[in-house]
Every structure is written in C-alpha cells, then in structure tokens.
Amino acid sequence: MKSPRTTNRTLSLLALSLAVILVSIVAEGAVITGDDEVNSRDVLVGPCGVPGAMGPTGVNDDFTNRSINTGIANVPPGGLTSAAATVLFRNTVQNTGVADDLFLLTAPVVPAGFAIEISTDQGDNYVALEPQDPGVALRLAYRAAAIVLVRVTAPAGLKILTGFDTVIRVASTVTPSAANDTIDRLYTGFIRLEKSVTTINGPGNSAVATPGAEIEFAITYSNVTSGDGVGNSLLTAHNLVITENGNAAPNNWGQTTEHVIGASDTQGGVIIGDRDGSTSLTDMITILEPRQSGVFKFKRRIK
C-alpha cells in the first residue's frame, strides 16, 4: 500500500494596520521518475501528473495543498472563517499492476462538516462521497492513468491559517490488498502576518515613546503550508505585496511621526516609499515558498 517573539512596547498613540494583496498564487509540484520500488505497485494515486509522489514518510501521505480565498479577508490569526468555500483538487490515478483493473475511489478521512465529491469524467458529473460509502468506480487499462477531480466544500467557522486533510484512497478490485492513499489538504489562508511596534531610540536611551524617539515597525510574514516530500503539489505565494499607509485608519502615524530612511526586508523584497517625507511604504516579495518567512521593517521618529 502507498499509502519572532520578543516582548515589544506598544505605542498607545499609534495604531498599525496592514493591507496584503496576493497578486497570484501558484501550486507547484515536481515530477519524479525512475523509482522502481514505488512504480512496481499495483496502483498509485497522487497529485495531478505525479501519482508516485512521496510524502514526509512515504507513498501514502503525499499531498496536494490548496487554499480557500473567501471568508478570510481581514480575519486575524486565531479567528474563524466567515463563509463556506469550495476548492477543486486534481489527482492522478495510475494502474501499475499487471493487467486491466477496476478501482474503487473512497474518502476514508473527511474533516467534520466537509462535503466531498468526486468526478471521473473531467467534471461532467460528480458523486458525493461519505467515509462509509463503497466508493466510485474507475476502470483503467494496464499501465494507464487518469485524472480525477475532487471537489471539497468547507463550512464557515474554521480556524484561520489551518490545514484540513481529506484522504483519498484508491483500491484494486483485482488485488484487494493493493491500495494507495493521497491527501487533498485545504488551507484556510496560508500567509501569516504578525505585527509589532518597538521604541528603539528614545531620548536619553529611554524606551518611552516621547517626541524625538524612534520607533520600529516590524511585519513578519510567513507561508504556513507544508512542503516535505518529493513530487507534491505545493502552495507558493508569488508577488506578495504588503502595504503600510500611515494615514489610512486606524493608522495615525503618518501625521504624528517622520520617516527614517533605511527600511529593510530579509527576503530581499522591493520597498517603495523609503524616502524623506514618506507616509506610506510598500514591500513587494517576489516569491515565498512553503515554510519560508521574512521580516519587513521601517522606522519613524515621533514629532
């Protein structure tokens, strides 16, 4: 069978807000070949185009990661989604046995409140699937492969920035002991943003936010999704844009502070607005892979 936290002083006279734009989100996966042990199985199922993908522990926990894009706007980490959402997954099933076979597709693991539907005809028809159902039939010729669509509908009220696993199992009817699992993982958003404000250069080395003191705004961003294994379909953020406007409510630092040139980004993001008199800064990060993180920082001086 295949189965950065420092205690920062907050500034009462300053408020911080954040606008994030994901210009594009691309799912990526690598193709693996030449693995005789994996490809000698009677059946494989995995991410689209990569039925023999390997997960963190083997061929039964390979995965396809996707994220919802509704019900998550302006919801902070720890909050709950505000709307239901449907996400489409694509998996490839391959007959690696010695003859034509009839396979049964089941979903033995489904998150509570989720609805799972499977299509074997490119989306013309879907069959609802419960964990106890006997399965959806898929006939494959010797060494043939097919794409199946899995439509996952998640309810509202799910914790933000969390992955929910649906396990898709494909079992042979010719060789009942032959089966393979893959995971279709749905995330409730996948870019975490954490903000802090610290007094770093007060008059007389004071940490109190008084006129003349410098304060540092730090925005830590991270891709919370999994990326272990080989050949899995990953969630990678492309063209991540973080905008901080000191005159956009609830911010008020645009009028109460002056800009200190020297903004930075640990991932080499392109920063716009790092100049004298600026009241708005934008950081553009080209790519953020699973488990990657970075920090966008800029300083202001209290008037």
Contact 95, 144 (CB under 8 A): yes
Quick check: is 13 in a domain? no
Q: Which of 187, 207, 234 is the last residue of a domain?
A: 187
Whether residues 168 and 223 share a domain: the answer is: no
Confidence of residue 13 (pLDDT cuts 50, 70, 90): very low
Q: Is 70 exceeded by the pLDDT of residue 23?
A: no
How far apart (Å, rounded) are the C-alpha atoms in residues 261 and 104?
A: 62
Contact 271, 261 (CB under 8 A): no
Q: What is the pLDDT of residue 273?
A: 97
Q: What is the pLDDT of residue 5?
A: 35
Q: Is 70 exceeded by the pLDDT of residue 22?
A: no
* Structure confidence by residue, pLDDT tens digits, 161-186: 999 999 999 999 998 889 999 999 99
Whether residues 104 and 123 share a domain: the answer is: yes
Q: What is the pLDDT of residue 74?
A: 85
Whether residues 46 and 173 share a domain: the answer is: yes
Lowest mean pLDDT among 87-91, 201-205, 259-263: 201-205
Whether residues 52 and 155 share a domain: the answer is: yes
β-pairing verdict for 101-109 and 163-172: antiparallel
Whether residues 60 and 204 share a domain: the answer is: no
Confidence of residue 94 (pLDDT cuts 50, 70, 90): very high
Whether residues 166 and 212 share a domain: the answer is: no
Which stretch of DSSP H or E encloses residue 33?
none
CA distances from residue 232 to 51, 63, 91, 132, 187 in whole angstroms, order as listed: 9, 5, 11, 27, 15
Quick check: is 145 in a domain? yes
Q: What is the pLDDT of residue 201?
A: 73
Q: What is the pLDDT of residue 71?
A: 94
Confidence of residue 263 (pLDDT cuts 50, 70, 90): very high
Q: What is the pLDDT of residue 2?
A: 52
CATH of the domain at 258: 2.60.40.1170
How far apart (Å, rounded) are the C-alpha atoms in residues 96 and 40?
A: 6
Quick check: is 26 in a domain? no
Contact 300, 260 (CB under 8 A): yes
Confidence of residue 12 (pLDDT cuts 50, 70, 90): very low
User: Where in the sequence is the domain holding 115, given as residue range(s)?
Assistant: 33-187
Quick check: is 12 in a domain? no
Whether residues 176 and 195 share a domain: the answer is: no
SS3 content of the chain, % helix, strand, coil (to 5): 5, 50, 45
CATH of the domain at 149: 2.60.40.2310
Q: What is the pLDDT of residue 208?
A: 65
Asked if omega into 176 is within 30° of 0 (cis), the reply is no
Domains held by the chain: number: 2
Quick check: is 262 in a domain? yes
Whether residues 207 and 266 share a domain: the answer is: yes
Residue 295, burial from CB neighbour count under 10 angstroms (0-12, 13-18, 19+): middle
pLDDT greater at residue 264 or residue 77: 264
Whether residues 133 and 201 share a domain: the answer is: no
Whether residues 248 and 231 share a domain: the answer is: yes
* Structure confidence by residue, pLDDT tens digits, 188-204: 999 999 999 998 876 65
Would you call 30 helix, strand, or coil by DSSP? coil
Provide the token pair at 84: 């239901």
Confidence of residue 21 (pLDDT cuts 50, 70, 90): very low
Nearest 5°: CA angle at 129, between 56 and 132? 85
Whether residues 183 and 279 share a domain: the answer is: no
Q: What is the reported pTM?
A: 0.84
Q: What is the pLDDT of residue 202?
A: 64
How far apart (Å, rounded) are the C-alpha atoms in residues 76 and 297?
A: 20
273 dihedral zone (left: phi>0; alpha: psi -120 to 50; beta): left
The mean pLDDT of the chain is 86
Contact 278, 259 (CB under 8 A): yes
Whether residues 182 and 53 share a domain: the answer is: yes
